[in-house]
Structure 1
Amino acid sequence: MTAFPQSNVPRFSVEVYQNEYLPEGGREVHAVVTVTATTNGGATTDGGAGAGTAPGPRAYTRAAGPDAAVVIMVDCSGSMEYPPTKMRNARDATAAAIDTLRDGVAFAVVGGTHVAREIYPGGGGLATADAATREQAKQALRTLSAGGGTAIGTWLRLAGRLLSGADVSIRHGILLTDGRNEHESPEELQASLAACAGRFTCDARGVGTDWEVREVTGIASALLGTADIVADPAGLSADFARMMETAMGKEVADVALRLWTPVGAEIAFVKQMAPTVEELTGRRGDSGPRTGDYPTGSWGDESRDYHVCIRVPAAGVGQEMLAARVSLVLPEPEGGIPVALSHGLVRAVWTDDTAASTSINPQVAHYTGQAELARTIQEGLDARKSGDRDGATAKLGRAVQLASVSGNEATARLLAKVVDVVDAPTGTVRLKVKVTEADEMTLETRSTKTVRVKK
Structure 2
Amino acid sequence: MAEFTAQVFQNEFLPDGGTDVNAIVSVTCTNAGTAGTAGIVAGEVIIIDTSGSMGDRPMEAAKQAAQAAIAEIVDGTYFAVISGNGAAFLVYPAVTSGPALVRMDARTRQEATQAVGMLRSGGGTAISTWLDLCGTIFASVPQVQQRHAILLTDGENGERPGVLQRAVERATGYFQCDCRGIGVDWKVAEIRPIAQALLGTIDIVPAPDQLRAEFQAIMRSSMARGVADAELRVWAPQGARVVFVKQVSPTVEDLTTRRSTVNDLTGSYPTGAWSDESRDYHVSVRLPAKAVGQEQLAARVQIVVGGQVAAQGLVKAKWSDDSALTTRIDGQVAHYTGQAELAAAIQEGLAAKAVGDEETATTKLGRAVQLAVETGNDEATAKLRKVVEVEDADTGTVRLRKAVDKADEMALDTSSTKTTRVRRS
Same fold (TM over 0.5): yes
Percent of aligned pairs with the same amino acid: 52
Deviates more, 1:26-35 or 1:184-193: 184-193
Q: Residue 64 and residue 221 in structure 1: after superposition, are their counterparts in 2 closer, same or farther (change >3 A)? A: farther
1:246-265 matches, cutoff 5 A:
246-265=221-240
Q: How far apart, in 1, do the equivalents of 2:161 and 2:209 lie?
A: 30
1:38-437 matches, cutoff 5 A:
38-39=30-31, 62-63=36-37, 67-81=41-55, 84-123=56-95, 124-166=99-141, 167-182=143-158, 184-331=159-306, 338-437=307-406
- Residue 66 of structure 1 and its aligned partner are, at CA, apart by 7.9
- Residue 17 of structure 1 and its aligned partner are, at CA, apart by 0.5
Q: How far apart, in 1, do the equivalents of 2:283 and 2:302 lie?
A: 13
- Residue 215 of structure 1 and its aligned partner are, at CA, apart by 1.4
Q: How far apart, in 1, do the equivalents of 2:36 and 2:80 lie?
A: 20
- Residue 254 of structure 1 and its aligned partner are, at CA, apart by 2.4
- Asked if the contact 1:398–1:427 (Cα under 8 Å) also holds between the matched residues in 2, the reply is yes
- Asked if the contact 1:66–1:105 (Cα under 8 Å) also holds between the matched residues in 2, the reply is no
2:14 paired with 1:18: no
- Asked if the contact 2:32–2:224 (Cα under 8 Å) also holds between the matched residues in 1, the reply is no
Q: Residue 430 and residue 61 in structure 1: after superposition, are their counterparts in 2 closer, same or farther (change >3 A)? A: closer
Q: How far apart, in 2, do the equivalents of 1:61 and 1:437 lie?
A: 37
- Asked if the contact 2:234–2:266 (Cα under 8 Å) also holds between the matched residues in 1, the reply is yes
Structure 2 gap segments, 5+ residues each: none
- Asked if the contact 1:31–1:364 (Cα under 8 Å) also holds between the matched residues in 2, the reply is yes
Deviates more, 1:63-72 or 1:13-22: 63-72
Residue 438 of structure 1 aligns with an amino acid whose one-letter code is: A
Deviates more, 1:98-107 or 1:359-368: 98-107
String of CA shifts for 1:207-252, please: whole Å, max 9, x gaps: 1001010111111101001111001111100000000000000111
Q: How far apart, in 2, do the equivalents of 1:10 and 1:256 lie?
A: 15
Q: How far apart, in 2, do the equivalents of 1:103 and 1:278 lie?
A: 32
- Asked if the contact 1:271–1:308 (Cα under 8 Å) also holds between the matched residues in 2, the reply is yes
The 4+ residue runs of structure 1 with deviation greater than 4 A are none
Q: How far apart, in 2, do the equivalents of 1:91 and 1:39 lie?
A: 33
Residue 303 of structure 2 aligns with an amino acid whose one-letter code is: L
Q: How far apart, in 2, do the equivalents of 1:93 and 1:18 lie?
A: 44
The answer for the alignment partner of 2:417 in structure 1 is 448
| Residue number among 25, 28, 31 corresponding to 1:36 in the alignment | 28
Q: Secondary structure of the equivalent of 1:402? A: helix
Q: How far apart, in 1, do the equivalents of 2:228 and 2:190 lie?
A: 25
> What is the TM-score of this pair, normalised by structure 1?
0.90
Q: How far apart, in 2, do the equivalents of 1:270 and 1:20 lie?
A: 18
Q: How far apart, in 2, do the equivalents of 1:240 and 1:201 lie?
A: 15
Q: Secondary structure of the equivalent of 2:398? A: strand
Q: How far apart, in 1, do the equivalents of 2:169 and 2:230 lie?
A: 19
- Residue 149 of structure 1 and its aligned partner are, at CA, apart by 1.0
- Asked if the contact 1:65–1:105 (Cα under 8 Å) also holds between the matched residues in 2, the reply is no
The answer for the alignment partner of 1:335 in structure 2 is none
Say what the alpha-carbon RMSD is for the aligned residues: 1.6
Deviates more, 1:312-321 or 1:417-426: 417-426
Instruction: Give the length in aligned residue pairs.
Output: 420
Residue 72 of structure 1 aligns with an amino acid whose one-letter code is: I
Structure 1 gap segments, 5+ residues each: 1-8, 42-59, 332-337
Q: How far apart, in 1, do the equivalents of 2:344 and 2:107 lie?
A: 48
Q: How far apart, in 1, do the equivalents of 2:161 and 2:29 lie?
A: 36
Residue 109 of structure 1 aligns with an amino acid whose one-letter code is: V
- Residue 64 of structure 1 and its aligned partner are, at CA, apart by 8.9
- Residue 62 of structure 1 and its aligned partner are, at CA, apart by 4.5
Q: How far apart, in 2, do the equivalents of 1:40 and 1:170 lie?
A: 14
Deviates more, 1:193-202 or 1:163-172: 163-172
- Residue 289 of structure 1 and its aligned partner are, at CA, apart by 2.4
- Residue 203 of structure 1 and its aligned partner are, at CA, apart by 0.3
- Residue 423 of structure 1 and its aligned partner are, at CA, apart by 2.0
Q: How far apart, in 2, do the equivalents of 1:397 and 1:343 lie?
A: 39
Residue 69 of structure 2 aligns with an amino acid whose one-letter code is: A
Residue 93 of structure 2 aligns with an amino acid whose one-letter code is: P
String of CA shifts for 1:35-62, please: whole Å, max 9, x gaps: 1001189xxxxxxxxxxxxxxxxxx995
Q: Secondary structure of the equivalent of 1:186? A: coil
Q: Secondary structure of the equivalent of 1:70? A: strand
Q: Secondary structure of the equivalent of 2:404? A: coil
- Asked if the contact 1:64–1:248 (Cα under 8 Å) also holds between the matched residues in 2, the reply is no
- Residue 253 of structure 1 and its aligned partner are, at CA, apart by 2.0
Q: How far apart, in 2, do the equivalents of 1:441 and 1:178 lie?
A: 13
Q: How far apart, in 1, do the equivalents of 2:326 and 2:277 lie?
A: 33
> What is the TM-score of this pair, normalised by structure 2?
0.96
Q: Secondary structure of the equivalent of 1:225? A: coil
